[in-house]
Amino acid sequence: MPSRLPPHVRIAIAGAGFAGLGMAIRLKQDGIDDFVVLERADDVGGVWRDNVYPGCACDVQSLLYSFTFAPNPGWSRAYSPGAEIHAYLRDCVRRFHLAPFLRFGHAVRSARWDSVRSHWVLDTTQGPLTADVFVAAVGALSEPVIPPLPGLERFRGKVMHSARWDTGHALAGRAVGVVGTGASAVQFVPEIQPAVGRLVLFQRTPAWVLPRGDQPISALRKALYQRVPGARWLAREGLRILREGMSLGFQYPWILRLAQRWALRHLSRVVHDPALRARLTPSYTMGCKRILISDAYLPALTRANVEVVTPRIREVTEDAVVTEDGTTHPVDTLIFGTGFQVTDMPLGHHVQGRDGRTLAQVWAGSPKAHLGTTVSGFPNLFLLQGPNTGLGHTSVLLMMEAQLDHVLGALRYLDARGAAAVEPQPGAQDAFVREMDARLSRTVWNQGGCRSWYLDATGRNAALWPGTTSAYRRRVEHFDPSEYITLPRPASRSTGRS
């Protein structure tokens, strides 16, 4: 008796965050319903499901942090709290009737391109399936990083990453060590500071901090956005254009030196102790690392129960952190705000292309993709938020929506040609990567005098897009067949199954 074939779908999407749900919505809007969304957790939301630390919020204004095809006139604040963004994504599932397409508890363990049958073979924690098209929407901020500090394994207190916050661990009165001073720490440090007994902030590099200016959205304005969609669109467009202008600062670093004066004035107004102010003053050009926005972070660092420690960590003992100057800092809780595996996408180690090599093997420590979306040698693989699609100035959803249009264009092309698959021409991908490298070499990210997570293991900037989102949309939204190899459908295959 023949073995039973695994279930087959036209499109398999890995991840139910913004990218995966956005892809699902656009597929439905295009009349495609033969797809599944594979999610390893038991709920949608991605980073907005996982990050529940105190003060978690978006650092892009709410009006820009929603799909253009799924507006939300009900945001409560100028900058949305994380729980509100999670609720928005859940509402998108309801509004667009996505529940039948969601497969929770389905972590993708591996994906392999079958050249004989011209489809992807996926192994998930709930069993195998095959798909004509594989959309990797796992996001860049999904796998937390905890640095391998010597002795960390012997620490007897509580250890947690900001993205894996233990809400059951009470911090009141505790001696808390915080490692990392990035975008998460700038939000949770002011929230926990009043409650803890003592807070030791281990700072390797100070950040440039600008005022946030967050405020509630009035009931009158919400009513206006609800009843007059044009008013909401106009406000969104105004914000979009304003933030697009900020991209010039990253391309021409001298512009950001003007903004540095604003940040230094903000620091001087808030931090009066000259010794502390010196420890919090960056030595690199603004923008080289992620610019942080907060009204509460710097004031929190001036409180009597907070100590900012700048010597590097030498080791962790059973009940303390010891720095290289020999000082022992007793703590009973360690919180890491140390970011994510951005340039070493974990899924890349488990996705095999035509020649049997994984993405990680092909990339060799430096991710490369055509238009940040497709990879030579990996037919019908689409990466959402892939290499060189990150931003430093505005909402990444604007980039993502251009990618969604690109995927839809590829699907329409395949249907029109009766073809099995597309993958980028090696020459087209190489030209795009060379262009990115040349343009990024002149930006503040590469010339600002710092080392950041934007740079991969080889020193390349594999994370960011060196321009406006409008320029990316013009480049990416329309699928250009001349930049792709078209693979014919196998003669034995007519319905998507062999």
The CATH number of the domain holding residue 121 is 3.50.50.60
Structural tokens at position 424: 């980028």
Task: Read off the pLDDT of residues 361-380 as tens digits, 9 standing for 90 and up.
Answer: 999 999 999 999 999 999 99
pLDDT at residue 289, as a whole number: 87
User: Which pLDDT band holds residue 189 (cuts at 50, 70, 90)?
Assistant: very high
For residue 494, pLDDT over 70 is answered with: no
Residue 103 has pLDDT above 90, yes or no: yes
Q: Is residue 95 in some structural domain?
A: yes
* 97, 156: one domain: no
Going by pLDDT thresholds of 50, 70 and 90, the confidence category of residue 229 is confident
Residue 376 forms part of a structural domain: yes
For the ranges 100-104, 219-223, 427-431, the lowest mean pLDDT is seen at 219-223
Domain stops at, among 272, 305, 336: 336
pLDDT at residue number 496: 42
Same domain, 171 and 293: yes
Domain boundary (306, 336, 366) is at 336
Same domain, 365 and 477: yes
Cα separation, 39 vs 101, whole angstroms:
11
Judge whether 495 lies within some domain: no
- In this prediction, residue 142 carries a pLDDT of 65
Helices 253-270 and 229-251, interaxial angle, to 10°?
A: 100
Q: Are residues 360 and 464 in the same domain?
A: yes
Same domain, 80 and 194: no
Confidence category of residue 248, pLDDT binned at 50, 70, 90: confident
Is residue 276 over pLDDT 90?
Answer: yes
469-476 and 229-251 are packed helices; what angle lies between their axes, rounded to 10 degrees?
A: 100
Query: Residue 3 domain-assigned?
Result: no
pLDDT value, residue 453? 76
Q: Has residue 455 been placed in a domain?
A: yes
Is residue 444, in this structure, part of any structural domain at all?
A: yes
Confidence of residue 492 (pLDDT cuts 50, 70, 90): low
Q: Give the pLDDT score at 141.
A: 67
Residues 421 and 310 occupy one common structural domain:
no
Query: Is 247 inside a domain boundary?
Result: no
Higher pLDDT, 153 or 259: 153
The per-residue pLDDT for range 446-479, each reduced to its tens digit, is: 887 777 878 888 889 999 999 999 999 999 999 9
Among candidate residues 52, 69, 59, the one with its CA nearest the CA of residue 405: 69
Q: Is the pLDDT of residue 245 over 90?
A: no
In one letter, which amino acid is 103?
R
How is 219-230 classified by DSSP, letter by letter?
HHHHHHHHH-HH
Instruction: Tell me whether residue 353 is in a domain.
Output: yes
- Write the DSSP assignment of 309-323 as a string of letters: E-SPEEEE-SSEEEE
Does 92 share its domain with 137?
A: yes
Q: Are residues 104 and 162 in the same domain?
A: no
Average pLDDT, stretch 166-178?
97
- The domain containing residue 314 runs over which residues? 152-216+253-336
Q: Does residue 370 sit in the same domain as residue 303?
A: no
- The pLDDT assigned to 253 comes to 80
Of 9-18, 103-112, 132-141, which range is least confident? Answer: 132-141
Position 256 scores a pLDDT of 83
Tokens found for residue 257:
């030196």
pLDDT at 1: 42
CA-closest candidate to residue 359, choices 20, 111, 138: 111
Same-domain check for residues 426 and 412: yes
Q: For residues 191-211, give the mean pLDDT.
A: 96
Query: Are 190 and 206 contained in the same domain?
Result: yes
Average pLDDT, the chain: 93
pLDDT band per the 50, 70, 90 thresholds, residue 498: very low
Q: What is residue 363's predicted lDDT score, i.e. its pLDDT?
A: 95
- The mean per-residue pLDDT over the stretch 271-296 comes to 94
Total of domains in the chain? 2
The residues, ordered by sequence, that sit 6+ positions from 444 with a Cβ below 8 Å of its Cβ are 249, 250, 253, 256, 285, 286, 287, 288
Give the pLDDT of residue 446: 86
Asked whether residue 359 carries a pLDDT value surpassing 90, the answer given is: yes
Write out pLDDT tens, residues 35-59: 999 999 999 999 999 999 999 999 9
The last residue of a domain, from among 336, 365, 392: 336
Note whether 123 and 193 are same-domain residues: no
